Amino acid sequence: MPDNTDRFDTIVVGAGIAGLGVAAILCKEAGQKVLVLDRFPMTGGRMMSYDGYPGKGWRTEIGLHMIELGEKASCTALNERVGKKVEWAPFSKTVDIWDGERFINIAELVPMTKEDRAAFGKMLEKIALMSDAEIESWDNRSLEEWLTENVPQPAVRELFTDLGMIMTTIPHAIDMAAGEVLFIARDNLHNTRQVLQASYPIDGMEGVTRGLVEVIRENGGEIRLNTDVQEVLIKDKLAIGVRVPVKKHPYQEEYRILETENIYADRVVCALPIYKLSDIIDFNPESSPLPRWWLKRINDIKHEVTGLIGFMIGLSEPVVDPQKRCFFSALKMKHSGFPFQAFPASNYSDKITPEGKQLLHTDLVCEHAEASDKFKRERLLNLLWEDLKEMFPGIEDKTEWKLPYYVDGCDGLARQPGLVGNFKPALKAPGIPNLYFAGDTYLGRGLAINGAARSSMRCADIILEDLKR
């Protein structure tokens, strides 16, 4: 392969929050010469914002996003670590649940006696006082088991299961990892005195990654977009760089093998989700430089992800009171049959729609099998539209545009027993000491964006520690 003459301290593959975070820290704290590569034309990965799309004055995203903890979030801490600020809209005050006929407050969903309410408070106190070790001991067990052993009141169990569903996007307590739900609840209780809080940056999701991009550029780092990395180069058990395309043929995907060149670096960080790793690392056990057990583990869990199918809807006039800061949810929709989430993003930010209009994000939370099948997801979208017409009367007439979307692998590994906490893949490759990983599918706790931010700070710390050796 021809060689590119540039040489870098670190190459980061992926310009999502995790890759940008690792790169910003290495540029700023260690003065490293860093190259970030991404196959998309824009930075931000799954949090990318599109200005002026689908029309002037609108700023849309890949799909519905809200971030737990807002200014107390790990993604805020990541920005602050490199000297940047994220501006947040005030917290969402309510979660409105669709009961099939109307929206009710989450408190109305599960009728509780005075004793139940006291027991709920006691349960939260207990969670707030749990140690890391206690929480970790529940990473391989279900929320249902934790509730059975710790909470005798059925109503309290039911309410906490509903909250767990909103945290994990998994409908049944038997499938939720207790460790992760308890960790998220404890983190929220410590920081906000509520079980779950969600917030939205006033600029849309780009508000969280823009500062990281600036830090990389201000500190001599480089971000190359439209660069689909073909392979991480590994020689004699060391990562030596990456192979990238030099030319693209119009029928590339079908018939042609790319012409490529090599770019060299002292280390490589793969900041792309585990289900994309086989695009850049040889997963053939006969020839891969990585051990068989690791290849098998990644292959075994890479489809343990949830999917989202939904519409972003641009409305000529609001269908939700524009003063209301709310989040909508349903445990199971009447027509489509899946859990549902929605929120009016423009109620949190006046920068993302033309004046007087409303942007409504909606989605159904489904599994890989539904999200990855074109015919299933198109059928589901039609059913979701029937649900939306019942939930938001008049929506059809007020819809100026509607963008259907789907994501297979939306927010990291499914938060199931055995897939959270220390069970997630490590941030360093076994046997290749200068190959690292970062992102929401690797070690790092908290809801997806915060998990990705935590993993990027930890990954950068590991690299900084390795540099001292």
Ligand X SMILES: Cc1cc2nc3c(=O)[nH]c(=O)nc-3n(C[C@H](O)[C@H](O)[C@H](O)COP(=O)(O)OP(=O)(O)OC[C@H]3O[C@@H](n4cnc5c(N)ncnc54)[C@H](O)[C@@H]3O)c2cc1C
Element (H, E) at 144: helix 143-150
Residue with smaller CB distance to ligand X, 179 or 273: 273
Torsion of CA 17, 428, 411, 306, to 10 degrees: 160
Please tell me whether residue 330 adopts helix, strand or coil conformation. Answer: strand
Residue with smaller CB distance to ligand X, 112 or 241: 241
- Rounded to a whole number of angstroms, the minimum distance from the CB of residue 224 to ligand X is 9
- Rounded to a whole number of angstroms, the minimum distance from the CB of residue 94 to ligand X is 16
Distance of CA 102 to the CA centre of its chain: 29
Residue with smaller CB distance to ligand X, 42 or 155: 42
Residue with smaller CB distance to ligand X, 120 or 200: 200
Torsion of CA 14, 427, 215, 207, to 10 degrees: 70
Interatomic CA distance for residues 360 and 444, integer angstroms: 30
Interatomic CA distance for residues 238 and 234, integer angstroms: 5
Residue with smaller CB distance to ligand X, 229 or 265: 229
- Rounded to a whole number of angstroms, the minimum distance from the CB of residue 39 to ligand X is 4
Interatomic CA distance for residues 361 and 366, integer angstroms: 16
- Give phi and psi for 270, each to the nearest 5: -95, 105
Torsion of CA 151, 154, 155, 159, to 10 degrees: 60
> What single letter denotes the amino acid at residue 177?
A
Burial tier of 246 (Cβ tally within 10 Å: 0-12, 13-18, 19+): exposed
| Residue whose C-alpha is closest to residue 240's, from 434, 45, 36 | 434
- Rounded to a whole number of angstroms, the minimum distance from the CB of residue 279 to ligand X is 5
Residue with smaller CB distance to ligand X, 66 or 364: 66
- Rounded to a whole number of angstroms, the minimum distance from the CB of residue 306 to ligand X is 10
- Rounded to a whole number of angstroms, the minimum distance from the CB of residue 441 to ligand X is 7
Residue with smaller CB distance to ligand X, 175 or 228: 228
Binding region for ligand X (CB under 6 A) = 13-19, 37-40, 45-47, 62-67, 228-229, 271-273, 276, 279-280, 308, 407, 410-412, 439-440, 447-449, 452
Rounded to 10°, the helix 114-128/154-168 angle is: 50
What sections of 170-324 are H helices per DSSP?
178-192, 206-218, 252-255, 292-301
- Beta bridge partners of residue 402, listed in sequence order: 313
Cβ–Cβ under 8 Å, residues 22 and 12: yes
Residue with smaller CB distance to ligand X, 434 or 455: 455
- Rounded to a whole number of angstroms, the minimum distance from the CB of residue 152 to ligand X is 32
Interatomic CA distance for residues 132 and 383, integer angstroms: 42
Residue with smaller CB distance to ligand X, 222 or 279: 279
Tokens 């990705």 -> residue: 452
- Rounded to a whole number of angstroms, the minimum distance from the CB of residue 38 to ligand X is 4
Cβ–Cβ under 8 Å, residues 334 and 349: no
- Rounded to a whole number of angstroms, the minimum distance from the CB of residue 392 to ligand X is 20
Please tell me whether residue 384 adopts helix, strand or coil conformation. Answer: helix
Residue with smaller CB distance to ligand X, 18 or 163: 18
- Rounded to a whole number of angstroms, the minimum distance from the CB of residue 362 to ligand X is 11
Interatomic CA distance for residues 173 and 401, integer angstroms: 37
